[in-house]
Every structure is written in structure tokens, then in C-alpha cells.
Chains A and B, each alone.
Chain A
């Protein structure tokens, strides 16, 4: 493995403590609370991660905006559920091999 050295700057300034708040990180594994619905998951994230100066109604409105932007309207109230109930990718590859 290589080692890369250098400065990490954001807009020409060293990143501060709030750096992680100004970025979004979509992980490879889609980990969600299986019992909550899509809308609840989004509201939870908005409530805790948007500036606390923003009022709750604005956050809720923004969640609706994101739902329509991502075209998640048809399943916004669906429960997230457990992933991997169906055939996993590895399993389907194994079947294809046979």
C-alpha cells in the first residue's frame, strides 16, 4: 500500500471540526433501521443533521422536496425492511456457475 502525504484543504482553508457536517457520505452498504419507513428515516436525518437553527417544519418540507427529487413518492411510507431476503449476488453467481 502506498502512503500519500499532503494537506487537506476545503476552499483553500484547512478543514475544521464541522467538516463532516458539510459533507455527505453514502456508504457502500445500505444500512437503515428496518422498522422505520422511508419518510421517517429521512426526517430523522434532517432533524439531527441540519442546522439546529432551522425550524422543524422547514426540515420536514425539505424532506418532501428530496422525496420528490429522488422519485421516492410511491414508497415514501413503506417500511424499509430487511435486505438480502432474496437471492444475494454471490448466490446468483454460484447458480450461474453451475
Chain B
């Protein structure tokens, strides 16, 4: 699994690197992952989600979108924000041990029971009518807005907004980039130079292109000379011709008026 083949890193290693690239930037607020398990097989998906769990246990806030998680992967997450079509909240809260907090909420609102062998992630989509072939008569968005869980969330948000603990805003400058333009320029130039050094075939092809087209500049040179000759003669002839042309138009106008 951990071996590298000649064509480079495998999918899991690449995904780990993507996460690593974000981690080394030391994000203070949170890490957001867009479907980290999509395109991975179940074994690899499990490895990545366990890694995320490990990072969360290290004290990092992780926000992650996920599609069709298996039951075992779904268990790794602490809280769930379930959105219906149009981005409307259906549930926001703890998943709980064996997803009991989640299933409990839906079952209290007359959803059919989630059997122990069922995957709660699939079950909840069935309940809200989002699974293929599923149908629901209940408006789960309205149900959420009327629930005690929703009011609990609102209360918590209000208390968060009131606390407004001012973070170290003074020492962190409010700029988009951490590095200065010169630092960025240096780092990028170095990286590009290294990239060219490591792909000599690119340099070779560029060089050979130069040799092949070496006659091209000569032809261009000839063209340029002719062009210059023509344009210079035109500009020379322009000056003496100009007054005569003006006088000609004047005369034609006067002839018109007469």
C-alpha cells in the first residue's frame, strides 16, 4: 500500500499530500475538505477518514462534505449538517454513538425505524425522500425549524455572537497573503527552474524548435526590410504631397461652390 510505483504517488498518497499541503500552512480556523473520499476505494476512503479523525483529535476543526458514506465511515464524524435540495437545513447536530442522536431525531418525528444493521447515512436519505425511489409526505425543512434542536442551535449561535472574543487581530495583519511579493516571486521562480531542470525533454524540444525555425527569422528579416523600405518611402513622399493634396481638395470644393 505504501509503496511508490514509477508513475508517481497513488491516489491515497496524493490525497494525503493534498491534506498535508494545507496542514503545513497552519490554518488557525479550520480545514475544509471537498469530498475527500470520492474516487477512492472503500479501504482508502477509510484510511483517509481515520486520518481526518486523528487530526480532529489533535484539536483541528474539520469541515468535510461527503457523499454516500458507508456506515463505518459515517460513524467517524461527530456532527452532521444535512441539507435538502436548495441548501435548506434538515438536520444540524451530533451524530452520536451508533448514530443514535441522529436516528432519534428522525424517529421522534415519525420516521420509520432505523434497523441496527442499516446504514444510518442511507436510512436518513430514505427518510427525507432524497434517495432514489424514496418519497416523503413530511416537509423536513419545516420540521427542523420547529424542533427543539433548532432552537438549541440558535441559542448557541447567539451566545457565540455575544461572546465576540477578539482574537489576536492586532498581530496578524489583515492581508490576503502571508508572504510578500518578493518572497512569492523568489519561491515560484526557484520552483519553475527546478521543474525545467527535471524535465529536460521540454528544454530539448524547445531547443530543437529553435534549430528547426532558424530560417524563419531570416525570412522575417527580409520581410521587415521590405516593409521598412516601403513605409519610409511613403513617409518621405507624404510631406511634399500633403499640401498639394490639400490644395487639390480646396480647389475641388471651390469648383463645387462656383
Q: Is the CB of A12 within 8 A of B162?
A: yes
Which residues from 1 to 38 on chain A have a C-beta closer than 8 Å to any C-beta of chain B? 1-2, 4, 9-13, 16-28, 30, 32-36, 38
Question: In the complex, how many angstroms separate the beta carbon of B199 from the nearest chain A beta carbon?
Answer: 6
- Besides A30-B17, A41-B17, A67-B20, 6 more A-B contacts (Cβ < 8 Å) are A2-B87, A18-B176, A23-B32, A45-B22, A48-B177, A48-B183
Q: Is the CB of A21 within 8 A of B177?
A: yes
Which residues from 172 to 227 on chain B have a C-beta closer than 8 Å to any C-beta of chain A? 172-180, 183-184, 187, 191, 194-195, 198-199
Q: Is the CB of B162 within 8 A of A80?
A: no
Question: In the complex, how many angstroms separate the beta carbon of A27 from the nearest chain B beta carbon?
Answer: 6
CA distance A53 to B16 in the complex (A): 27
Question: In the complex, how many angstroms separate the beta carbon of A53 from the nearest chain B beta carbon?
Answer: 9
CA distance A44 to B188 in the complex (A): 9
Q: In the complex, what residues of A have CB within 8 A of residue B161's CB?
A: 9, 12
Task: Check A48/B17 contact, CB under 8 A, given A23-B31, A83-B8.
Answer: no
Which residues from 41 to 68 on chain A have a C-beta closer than 8 Å to any C-beta of chain B? 41-52, 59, 62-63, 66-67
CA distance A80 to B4 in the complex (A): 9
CA distance A79 to B194 in the complex (A): 13
Pick the 9 closest A-B CB pairs, nearest first: A81-B8, A2-B86, A24-B22, A49-B25, A12-B164, A85-B7, A24-B27, A30-B14, A46-B24
Q: Is the CB of B178 within 8 A of A49?
A: yes
B28 within 8 Å of A (CB atoms) = yes
Which B-chain residue is minimally distant from A89 (CB atoms)? B39
Which residues from 149 to 183 on chain B have a C-beta closer than 8 Å to any C-beta of chain A? 160-167, 169, 172-180, 183
CA distance A81 to B86 in the complex (A): 39
Q: In the complex, how many residues of chain A place their beta carbon closer than 8 angstroms to a beta carbon of chain B?
A: 61
CA distance A59 to B123 in the complex (A): 45
Q: Is the CB of A20 within 8 A of B176?
A: yes
Q: Which of B4, B19, B30, B179 contacts A49 (CB 8 A)?
A: B179
Q: In the complex, what residues of B have CB within 8 A of residue A70's CB?
A: 16, 19-20, 23, 51
B21 within 8 Å of A (CB atoms) = yes
CA distance A73 to B27 in the complex (A): 22
Q: In the complex, what residues of A have CB within 8 A of residue B244's CB?
A: none
Q: Which of B28, B34, B172, B187 contacts A47 (CB 8 A)?
A: B187
Which A-chain residue is minimally distant from B184 (CB atoms)? A48
Task: Check A80/B34 contact, CB under 8 A, given A10-B29, A17-B175, A52-B183.
Answer: no
Q: Which of A21, A35, A52, A67 contacts B198 (CB 8 A)?
A: A35
Q: List 20 A-B contacts (CB under 8 A).
A: A2-B86, A9-B160, A11-B160, A12-B163, A13-B164, A16-B169, A25-B32, A35-B198, A35-B199, A38-B20, A44-B191, A46-B24, A52-B178, A71-B2, A79-B8, A79-B198, A80-B9, A83-B11, A83-B14, A89-B39
CA distance A52 to B11 in the complex (A): 32
Q: Is the CB of B23 within 8 A of A66?
A: yes
CA distance A11 to B162 in the complex (A): 10
B26 within 8 Å of A (CB atoms) = yes
